[in-house]
């Protein structure tokens, strides 16, 4: 019985070592395959300066700047940050649909989120504001945009 217990412990140890040695390379290959499917280059070492979204050729924006409604959400917790950004967005010619707080206040980077088919408008807004991250709605509902086509989430 003692020999069986020792053999079982050795087998468990070998399985754990095997998983740790094989698991990491397999997970890296899975990440690379997923990135390839999304056509997003996987950086060797990601830094906070790297943007996962590149401004690739997109369709032309269907809406003019004056017709692209923008919601500004404070995701960094600093008082007045969203109102200040709203002024800049208005100066660029965009109507501001709403100004408020994001669902959380710990966004690391400022980003533009778009809903539905409004990616070209989101990319144009990001270029106008010098924002490097453009992504579909993630963590926000369409109703949180209060009728806007795109949202600017302010990060640190």
pLDDT of residue 28: 65
Which position has the higher pLDDT, 1 or 138? 1
pLDDT digits (tens, 9 = 90+) for 47-56: 434 445 555 5
pLDDT of residue 60: 83
What is the SS3 assignment for 24? Answer: helix
In the chain, the N- to C-terminal Cα span, in Å, equals 60
pLDDT at 61 over 60: yes
pLDDT of residue 42: 43
Burial of 80 (0-12, 13-18, 19+ CB in 10 A): exposed
Mean pLDDT of the chain: 80
Contact 154, 76 (CB under 8 A): yes
pLDDT at 36 over 80: no
pLDDT at 108 over 50: yes
pLDDT at 5 over 60: yes
CATH of the domain spanning 65-154: 3.30.70
Mean pLDDT of 137-145: 80
**Residues 23-31: contacts with CB under 8 Å, at least 24 apart:** none
Please count the other Cβ atoms lying within 10 Å of the Cβ belonging to residue 109.
Answer: 16
Secondary structure of 83-119 in the HEC alphabet? HHHHHHHHHCCCCEEEEEECCCCCCCCCEEEECCCCH
pLDDT at 137 over 70: yes
């Amino acid at each position: 019985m003692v020999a069986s217990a020792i053999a079982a412990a050795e087998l468990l140890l070998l399985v754990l070592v095997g998983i740790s040695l094989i698991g990491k390379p397999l997970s890296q290959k899975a990440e690379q395959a997923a990135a390839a499917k999304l056509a997003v280059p996987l950086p060797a070492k990601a830094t906070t300066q790297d943007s996962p979204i590149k401004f690739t050729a997109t369709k032309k924006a269907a809406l003019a700047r004056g017709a692209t409604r923008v919601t500004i959400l404070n995701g960094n917790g600093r008082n007045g940050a969203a109102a200040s950004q709203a002024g800049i967005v208005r100066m660029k010619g965009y109507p501001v649909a709403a100004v408020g707080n994001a669902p959380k206040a710990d966004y690391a980077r400022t980003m533009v989120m778009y809903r539905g088919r409004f990616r070209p408008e989101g990319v144009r807004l990001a270029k106008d504001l010098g924002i490097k991250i453009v992504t579909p709605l993630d963590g926000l509902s369409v109703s949180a945009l209060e009728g806007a086509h795109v949202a600017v989430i302010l990060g640190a």
